[in-house]
Amino acid sequence: MTSLTVQQQEVFEQIKHIAEDGSEFWMARELMPVLEYTQWRRFNDAINRSKISCEIAGFSFDKHFTHLPGKATSKGRFGDNYRLSRYACYLVAMNGDVRKQAIALAQAYFAIKTHEAEVKVPAQSKRIQELELQLAIAQANRDTVLSQERFLLRNEAIFTMHGAGQLALIQGRPEAVVTETEIVRETVMVDQNLRPVATFNGMGISEIARKLGFTGKNATAQCKNWLKSVGIKDEDWVQEMTAHATPKLPRERLPELKRLWGERKGSRQLLIGE
């Protein structure tokens, strides 16, 4: 690739503009005398040929050749201009009269600048990606620290107000112990001297049905059928000696019944449609 002296490059650098997004551009009216064109009509012809070259290369010329209309007069439009990208300037130079030294210098200058951009932009993009990743990691670390601080403050408040047991429960830790308070009603028989002689604390069919999860108006009937299907016989029921004799199962049978129910034993599937 042809090398240029600093003085030769300075001719094009002096008329270079920088857009807000950092891209470089040149104004056609300023570039025209540098390329030794004396008539706008001839320079405009070179621009039009460059537009065609741009489209043939697969690019939209509107992106690289921004038309800036001049003032309309009775003699036509006066003062048309173009905002040319670096690539557009390169195409204008390639479509110019190569016999002119200024055109040859322009071809070399814009070819060099285009090559520099092809090397520089990917490197910049990679660096930007690295910086964005570093920023994302830093933000994630900051959020983690803030979350940990809030977590510790919340735990300290819960511990102060409710104690360690409630803290484990709220955090959902496996060591949390949840106790269920159950009211057990006992029937105590006494003799004539009011001394207890017998105690009954069995479970009626309604209580069993509720504990096993039977619902609806047929809950007790369905529960009875299921109990029979798992081997509970009539003689297993105990009549409590109360004003209204009520058959009840000994409460110690409850764990066994829950196990059988959980294992889908008996007629459970038929009763609840599993």
pLDDT in tens, 133-178: 666 666 666 777 677 777 667 766 665 665 555 556 566 665 555 5
Rounded alpha-carbon distances, angstroms, from residue 141 to 91, 92, 134, 152 = 49, 52, 11, 17
* pLDDT tops 50 at residue 1: no
For the whole model, what pTM was predicted? 0.41
Cα-based torsion angle of the residue sequence 262, 267, 270, 274 in order, rounded to the nearest 10 degrees: 20
Stretch 195-201: mean pLDDT, rounded?
Answer: 64
On whether the CB atoms of residues 29 and 94 are closer than 8 A, the answer is: no
Across 121-130, 159-168, 204-213, which has the greatest mean pLDDT? Answer: 204-213
* pLDDT tops 60 at residue 202: yes
What does the DSSP assignment read for 204-216?
-HHHHHHHHT--S
pLDDT of residue 116: 73
Instruction: Please write the tens of the pLDDT for every residue from 5-24.
Output: 777 788 888 999 999 888 89
pLDDT of residue 197: 53
> What token pair was written down for 24?
């470089």
Tell me the average pLDDT of the chain: 77
pLDDT of residue 91: 92
> What token pair was written down for 167?
């803290």
Instruction: Please write the tens of the pLDDT for every residue from 66-87.
Output: 999 877 666 655 688 999 998 9
Higher pLDDT: 81 or 213? It is: 81
d(CA 86, CA 114): 7
d(CA 156, CA 145): 16
**At which residue do the structure tokens 């009763």 appear?**
271
- The H-or-E segment that residue 85 falls in is strand 81-85
On whether the CB atoms of residues 204 and 252 are closer than 8 A, the answer is: no
Stretch 111-125: mean pLDDT, rounded?
Answer: 64
**At which residue do the structure tokens 């932009």 appear?**
121
Give the closest residue to 89 by CA, choosing from 46, 45, 36, 38: 46
pLDDT of residue 200: 67
